[in-house]
Amino acid sequence: MTQPALLRWLGSCAALLPLTIAAVHTQTTSGAPPLTVAAERMIRDVTLGRSEPSSVDAGRRLPGSSLAAKASAGKRKYFITDIGTLGGSQSFALGINDVGQVFGTSWITGDTTAHAFLYQNGTMSDLGELVTTLAGGAINNSGQVATGITIGGIVKPAIYDSQTGALTIIPSLGGTSSFGFSGVVTAINDRSKAVGWGYIDSLTPHAFVHRNGVTTDIGSFGGPSHAWSINDSGTIVGSSTNSSNGNAHAFVYSAGQMRDIDPFGDPTFTTSLSVATDVNDSGTVVGYFLDQTDNLIHGFLYDGASFINIGVAGSLEVQASAINRHGQVVGVRLVVDEMHAFLYERQRLTDLNDLTLSQRGWELTWAFDINGHGQIVGYGVLGNNFRAFLLTPVVDKEQCKNGGWRGFGFKNQGQCLQFVNH
């Protein structure tokens, strides 16, 4: 796919998302992934909508908590849960933690605007107009959410605590763009160490790390930089350029050093393009890059020694979004004119639509995150609307009992059992 065609595709992807995710950077040379937090040109003054604080037990195990281990890759299939909306027609699930809390965004009643939401135990809570991003690690296992909020017309980085309902605005890097953007938090690990990016002046964003009230600029390759994920060891991944008009290169930042992991290693930053989107606790990185052999965007998996291309024959584009501790990767692939959510594991990329047996009319479009139990969140098409989904690995018929079938959208237990035994 040519770069103009790629941009048209990315623009169409962004058009699917509510305004709190906001606009796409219109150039891949900005140093940010083509799909970013954005909200830069569409942000306006907002007030934080409050919901009742939810109780989070980080040690609580989900029903079938060893789902990822139990489900055989060769026979794997999933239950689908329709997460619902905040009263509007569309919703998008962007992150999930190991407790099963889901963070995302939804249109509200009347489709007048979009609000962030937290979904837990079948209930969706309205979090107001918090800024949502497409980065991995948006919610940690303590229920802390990486986000941002607009105050006085300026978007500022923030962390929302779902246990207490508190929103903490953290320091950015001192600059503000001409369109009122100071910074945003994109990911937070289980040690409450957060990453994101903020402006150092009116033109240049830099990646940052935040811990205990202190925000630190982690630098760049000479131009803009953006941090997109952090693991519990403090390894940070993202993208950076060497100048204001250079292409983005994926980076890994650890021990105070930012390392370029672009597979083609173009020192001029003019021909290669790559973005690291997530990193698990083993240090395995996923993302996407422009394959110079076919000029298409392919997903990648990088373990520090080897770089694995997870592009697939017959797919025009593959973008990896997230990876869990088992090495399972999810994302989106472009097939002709359609986007399909995928799962990649054991060197095999599988369309998630093939693992749900087209359950109840869903067409799964994009998988944004996967937790340690193998549960996957994203959005798909249901009844001509984009709807947030939660996929849970099918393990056995016990998941259908004691009312469990209701959470998976079946009409009765027998229908659920039939799906399991199919």
- Tokens 């595709």 locate to 9
Q: Would you place residue 148 in the very low, low, confident or very high pLDDT band (cuts 50, 70, 90)?
A: very high
Which of the residue ranges 128-142, 150-164, 210-224, 363-377 would you say has the lowest mean pLDDT?
128-142
Q: Residue 315 has what pLDDT?
A: 60
Q: Would you place residue 70 in the very low, low, confident or very high pLDDT band (cuts 50, 70, 90)?
A: low
Q: Residue 74 has what pLDDT?
A: 52
Task: Give the chain's mean pLDDT.
Answer: 82
Higher pLDDT, 66 or 256: 256
Nearest by Cα to 296 from 280, 278, 329, 273: 273
**Residue 37 and residue 133 in contact, taking contact as beta carbons nearer than 8 Å:** yes
Cα distance between residue 187 and residue 321, in whole Å: 13
Q: Residue 356 has what pLDDT?
A: 81
Cα distance between residue 417 and residue 422, in whole Å: 8
Q: What is the percentage of the chain residues whose pLDDT exceeds 90?
A: 59
Q: Residue 67 has what pLDDT?
A: 55
pLDDT > 60? residue 43 = no
Higher pLDDT, 305 or 90: 90
Q: Would you place residue 11 in the very low, low, confident or very high pLDDT band (cuts 50, 70, 90)?
A: very low
Q: Would you place residue 9 in the very low, low, confident or very high pLDDT band (cuts 50, 70, 90)?
A: very low
The mean per-residue pLDDT over the stretch 73-97 comes to 89
Would you mind telling me the total number of residues written for the chain in this entry?
422
Cα distance between residue 24 and residue 333, in whole Å: 19
Work out the angle at residue 128's Cα, subtended by the Cα atoms of residues 123 and 133, and round it to the nearest 5 degrees: 90
Burial 263-272 (b: 16+ CB within 10 A, else e): beebeebeeb
Q: Would you place residue 266 in the very low, low, confident or very high pLDDT band (cuts 50, 70, 90)?
A: confident
Burial 60-89 (b: 16+ CB within 10 A, else e): eeeebeebbeebeeeebbbbbbbbebbebe
If one counts every other C-beta atom within 10 angstroms of the C-beta of residue 49, the result is: 16
Q: Would you place residue 192 in the very low, low, confident or very high pLDDT band (cuts 50, 70, 90)?
A: very high
Give the single-character DSSP code of 397: G
Cα distance between residue 42 and residue 131, in whole Å: 11
Burial of 116 (0-12, 13-18, 19+ CB in 10 A): buried
- Please tell me the CATH code under which domain 3-421 is placed: 2.130.10.150
User: Token pair for residue 296?
Assistant: 């298409």
Q: Would you place residue 320 in the very low, low, confident or very high pLDDT band (cuts 50, 70, 90)?
A: very high
User: Hey, is 60 helix, strand or coil?
Assistant: coil
Q: How many CA atoms lie within 13 A of 391 on its CB side?
A: 36
Q: In what order do the strands lie in the sheet containing 385-393?
A: 78-82, 385-393, 376-382, 363-370
Burial 141-163 (b: 16+ CB within 10 A, else e): bbbbbbbbbbeeebbbbbbbbbe
| Identity of residue 186 | T
CA dihedral angle for residue 258, residue 209, residue 97, residue 422, rounded to 10 degrees: -30
Element (H, E) at 11: helix 3-15
The mean per-residue pLDDT over the stretch 409-420 comes to 81
Q: What is the percentage of the chain residues whose pLDDT exceeds 70?
A: 80
